[in-house]
Amino acid sequence: MAQIIHTQYFQKQLPKGVSISTTSYRDHQFPKHFHDHYTIQLIEEGVNEGFTESVKYKVGQNGLLVINPGELHAGNSLNHEYLKFHTIRLDQSFIHSFHEKNEIPRKGDFHFDIQPIYCAQITHMMNSLIASLRHNNHLRFESNLTGILITLTSNHQKSPGTQSKIPLRLAQDFLHEHYNKNLTLNQIAEVCHLSPYHFLRQFKKQFGIAPFQYLRNIRVEKAKALLPHHPISQAAHQVGFYDHSHFLKSFKKIEGVAPSKQITKQA
């Protein structure tokens, strides 16, 4: 039986750097992946079971989960039961601008605790925010989004964990800088001054995925930003996918929807 994911994107009058959707599915396993943005997820029905680099989690009805940018994670519906959730995606630039505008002090990047959050106040504001989009009430939307972010920042922010070991951080930076090139394992290992064998072992131990999977994820994230302004084939080629079918398959595997849906979302 085909796995079907239903996603409704809200498009009207959203601030730049904000994306909101409602998703439901019954039997789909997302692979290990990461995003460039912050993700705030509220479960409306079912249980989301998954893990990040540091913890395993189960988030039930009215529970929230915040995923930080670059945080490797994967999730699925518990026991293949029906799962429905609302998602707010916030660009890092939006978060930084929001905190500067509201004069919220910070030390380094904002980092939220990766644990299920059961907070009646945030749940109420999340549901009110979704309702405001359906009724085109911009003031209500802004008030709820502000309240959600202030509450999360005040009660659920924590200091970032220890940075990746220096050689692997060099590999990360190299992959992010040269993501659209046809890289080899030797090239990346040389940046870290490691043999390909030792680099591969250490990378997979640190990040939980192989370098080619990490690179594929970066390319999909970069393509998402290009899709509203470029044809799918051009966006795919520009980020380093030289096989169109491979891009389509990779995008849907990570995002759960086809690239054409991403265009509709941001149109």
Based on the number of CB atoms within 10 Å of its own CB, is 245 exposed (0-12), middle (13-18) or buried (19 or more)? exposed
Mean pLDDT, residues 192-208: 90
Residue 5 has pLDDT above 90, yes or no: no
Q: What pLDDT band is residue 220 in, cutting at 50, 70 and 90?
A: very high
Q: What are phi and psi of 84, to 5 degrees?
A: -135, 135
Q: Strand 6-10 and strand 73-77: pairing?
A: unpaired
166-266 CATH: 1.10.10.60
| Overall average pLDDT of the 15-22 stretch | 92
Counting Cβ atoms within 10 Å, is residue 133 exposed (0-12), middle (13-18) or buried (19+)?
Answer: buried
Residue 137: closest CA among 149, 150, 128, 146 = 128
Q: What single letter denotes the amino acid at residue 239? A: V
What does the DSSP 8-state code read for residue 107? S
Residue spans per domain, the chain: 6-156, 166-266
How long, in residues, is the chain?
Answer: 267
Residues 86-104 as b/e (b if ≥16 CB within 10 A, e otherwise) read bbbbbbbebbeebbeeeee
pLDDT tens across 24-47, in order? 998 778 888 999 999 999 999 999
Q: For residues 158 and 146, what is the distance between their CA atoms, to the nearest angstrom?
A: 19
* CA dist 11 → 17, 107, 110, 126 (Å): 12, 33, 26, 17
| Closest by Cα among 54, 36, 168 to 94 | 36
What CATH fold (topology level) applies to the domain 6-156?
Answer: Jelly Rolls (2.60.120)
Residue 267 scores a pLDDT above 70: no
pLDDT digits (tens, 9 = 90+) for 139-189: 999 999 999 999 998 888 876 655 556 788 899 999 999 999 999 999 999
Report the alpha-carbon distance of residue 126 to residue 64 in Å, rounded: 10
Percent of the chain exceeding pLDDT 70 equals: 91
Q: Give the tens place of pLDDT for each residue, 108-122.
A: 667 888 789 999 999
| Nearest CA-CA partner of 66 in 105, 37, 96 | 37
Conformation bin of residue 82: beta by default, left when phi > 0, alpha when psi is -120 to 50 = beta
Termini Cα distance of the chain: 31
Instruction: Report the percentage of the chain scoring pLDDT > 90.
Output: 59
Question: pTM, whole model, 2 decimals?
Answer: 0.81
Q: Which of 236, 265, 230, 234 is nearest to 248 (CA)?
A: 236
- pLDDT at residue 53 is higher than 80: no
